[in-house]
Amino acid sequence: MSSSTLDGFVPFPPDRAARYRSAGYWTGRTLDSLLSDAARRWPARIGVIDAGGPQRLTFTQLDERADRAAAGLAALGITQGDRVLLQLPNGCEFAVALFGLLRAGAIPVMCLTGHRATELGHFAGVSDATALIIPDTAAGFDYRPMARQLTQEHRGLQHVIVDGDPESFVPWSQVRACRDERHTRSTPDPSSPALLLVSGGTTGLPKLIPRTHDDYVYNATASAELCTLTSDDVYLAALPSAHNFPLACPGLLGAIAVGATTVFLTNPSPESAFAAIARHGVTVTALVPALANLWAEATEWEPETPTSLRLLQVGGAKLEADDARRIRATLTPGLQQVFGMAEGLLCYTRPGDPPELVDHTQGRPLCDDDELRVVDDAGQPAQAGAEGELLVRGPYTINGYFNAEADNARSFDPDGFYRSGDLVRTHLDGYLEVTGRVKDVIHRGGETVAAGDIEEHLRAHPSIGSAAAVALKDPYLGEKICAAVVFTGAPVTLSELNDFLTQRGVATHARPDVLTEMTALPTTPVGKVDKKAIAQQLQSG
Ligand code: OOB
């Protein structure tokens, strides 16, 4: 299959592709070769382990199982270029299915287990998927009724494969046990999409992100190198494995590339995570800030706290400097900030960077050929060190969402730079500080207020643990400011809170009109604060 034959995929322009090849970033390896190479180099090493169960597979066993799964998928008629929705929870079977799909030449669509019929239906429609792989149940949710609804609405969805009790669907146990020796591994064009990630999606439904073999192998292997990952490391997949961060930054794929073991965790609570870390001697893991903060707090009461972690990656949302300090003090001095996006660009603080840099910045780009532009409201280059929107292109950043022409016209500039929507400030040494989102503003009575600024002030209150500022519709002001907060100390009233904000010098128009107490802020499937959900809850309540 050549890269131009997959409709809806925007390839890298030939001149840049040639440059990335000659610079050695793109090697022509396919994603599934990471596993076959690991099986050759470290045949008897443990590749993957289920933290919560008995299953553990050597690289050889994982490799063989992927081949059998590929044969089973091919026997169902799944073939080169077919899109398949993959929605399995963390576990060895996730790895078997992922590599099985890659070896069958299929293009997995990496759904998170928290996605439901609305998102899955959207992914099925945009990707024109022919199959869906799900668990029977996970975390109290039965995926089969959702699958039934999806097959009715999407006639192209011909196969539903279920890990567990399949009811009327195809059992995964049968697919993955196929011994059809005639199946030959597919040999995809390395510049074609290997898989489709889903976007972080702060507005509307998530978009599909085509990552090529060339760019994603680079993403995983260069990240592994930056993190000095070796075959002595044990990586804990605590976030949902279908997300770019635990999948390839360096994550599962980076671990496989260097012969490190991956331990899959289904429940990232401190209790279960700390037990898994101790039991398996975990050295590296990746968390979102909310989870990292919870783990840090839990060191106060959990009897068994982590001692083996050498690298704790935190990213996905802004990590505050105070929280960074506490994480270093309680969990490991080896904290790393990661600012990444499924669309591509990854920024990392480096192992060995001074604590000041690690606490106060979100790192610098992975690759010397990542091209970053920071622009002001008018789209002009921002002054050195001034806040602006980050635009990026480079060897592992997409050139377009999959099958989304209208979105692409908005999200990419004429030079092919991806408009991240993130507001950043660049320091002289090239390190970035993420300051907010371009669209995360509240238009209150003619004034535009940055939600991030209000949140910073709210969090400064001694009684407030976490906070979000969201816009609520208002007949007079257009939008009013609602502060949704989780109290960790004695609750305060709106007027007490506003007295506090006044003392901090916050302008009258930037102070909350409404205060709502929440027991916890709602989160997205990967665990980021979901402001859209907060606004919906408040608007309907
Ligand atoms: C990661 O990827 P996505 O695609 O779920 O979300 C990307 C967005 C970024 O555009 C930015 O708005 C936000 O999440 N973000 C951060 C951040 N890391 C991501 N905002 C502030 N500080 C950070 N450190 O979230 C992702 C992908 C790969 C590695 C790590 C995270």
| Ligand 1 atom with minimal separation from the 362 CA | 24
Q: In the sheet where 284-287 sits, what is the strand order?
A: 56-58, 46-50, 261-264, 234-237, 284-287, 311-315, 335-341, 344-348, 364-365
pLDDT at position 228, please? 98
| 139-162 tens-digit pLDDT | 999 999 999 999 999 999 999 999
CA of 340 from ligand 1 middle (Å) equals 4
Asked whether the beta carbons of 404 and 422 are under 8 A apart, the reply is no
pLDDT tens digits, 207-263: 999 999 999 999 999 999 999 999 999 999 999 999 999 999 999 999 999 999 999
Q: What are the pLDDT digits (tens) for 159-188?
A: 999 999 999 999 999 999 988 877 778 889
At position 324, the amino acid (one-letter code) is: A
The residue whose C-alpha atom lies closest to atom 22 belonging to ligand 1 is 318
What average pLDDT does the chain have?
Answer: 96
Q: 1: pLDDT confidence band, cut at 50, 70 and 90?
A: very low
Looking at ligand 1, which atom is closest to the CA of residue 342?
4
* C-alpha distances in Å from residue 219, one per residue of 11, 140, 226, 247: 17, 34, 11, 10
Q: Is the pLDDT of residue 3 over 60?
A: no
Ligand 1 neighbourhood includes 336 CB (under 6 angstroms): no
> Each residue of 350-395: pLDDT tens digit?
999 999 999 999 999 999 999 999 999 999 999 999 999 999 999 9
pLDDT band at 5 (very low <50, low <70, confident <90, very high): low
Cα–ligand 1 centroid distance for 137 (angstroms): 29
Give the Å distance between the CA of 391 and the centre of ligand 1: 14
Percent of all residues in the chain with a pLDDT value above 90, rounded to a whole number: 94
State in Å: Cα 136 to ligand 1 middle.
30
Residue-level pLDDT at 155: 95
| pTM of the entire predicted model | 0.96
What is the pLDDT, as a whole number, of residue 179? 84
Query: 249 CB less than 6 Å from ligand 1?
Result: yes
Closest alpha carbon to 266 in 113, 64, 128, 411: 113
Could you give the domains of the chain? 441-540 (3.30.300.30)
Position 202 scores a pLDDT of 61
Tell me the per-residue pLDDT of 95-127, one tens digit each, with 9 for 90 and over. Answer: 999 999 999 999 999 999 999 999 999 999 999
Quick check: 541 pLDDT over 80?
Answer: no
